[in-house]
Amino acid sequence: MAAIIAITSGEIINYEVGVVWTPTIYGQSHTYIDAIVRANGAPFVIPLVDNTEILRSLYKLADGILLSGGHDLEPETYNTERTHPKLITSPRRDKQEMQMVKWALQDDKPILGICRGMQLLNVALGGTLYQDIKTDLPQAHDHTASVIKKDFRHLAHDLNLSNNSKLAKILGQPHIKTNTLHHQAICNLGRGLVVTARTEDGIIEAVELPDKQFVIGVQSHPEALEAEAEPEWGRVFEAFVKSIKTV
């Protein structure tokens, strides 16, 4: 049987003439789903629910958890006051995904964190974030270059991978091109995490937990690259799915 992968959902709000009148949509980009299917996994998008028992039931259906991109994390999740005025947050999503990470780490269930997902993994382990790279690290490169291009496939950075990392072994190379669509970044590293990739300016672009079966976070959006722009990223999704023992 194919490994079942739960993909976390975002809160998508429709705006019309400045007035919100349609129900919030719980969903995620098809690229996450496509990447898991190409890796021979069976994905489903897990909705936001306020009932912990229902969430636990949904969690138990999954063999692995893909923490997707999207909203900024509320600064209070890493015990910091809000300093950047334009954060777009989802407290319900923060709470739900923190709970799922806690369960997954306890159960040693494979986790792949992408963009926000990597940041959430870091915060769940006691780490902190830079709320805005341009404000907090003005010497850093532009990490919104793919947003400015309006192209998820725009390869803006060359990542330098740590030689002995699981990520480097999966990709089979010391460098890889990637897109960049984030304005926040890891500041203080969470408990047990090791840095496995950085951009030329030193921004953390990948982390992993060496003592777990498979816990990897990447700051970029490889799900938008693996089909065409940089196929080597497909190896990460394949390794994620293959790390799951199914019968």
- Annotated active-site positions, please? 115, 221, 223
Contact present, 36 and 63 (Cβ < 8 Å):
no
Single out the residue of 94, 93, 74, 92 nearest to residue 84, CA to CA.
Answer: 74
CA angle 167/170/175 to nearest 5° reads 65
Query: Which pair of structure tokens corresponds to residue 191?
Result: 């408990």
Compute φ and ψ for 130, nearest 5 degrees: -80, 125
Instruction: Give how far the C-alpha of residue 120 lies from the chain's centroid of Cα atoms, to the nearest Å.
Output: 8
- Measured distance CA(46)–CA(100) in Å, rounded: 11
- Measured distance CA(203)–CA(139) in Å, rounded: 11
Query: Which pair of structure tokens corresponds to residue 61?
Result: 């259906």
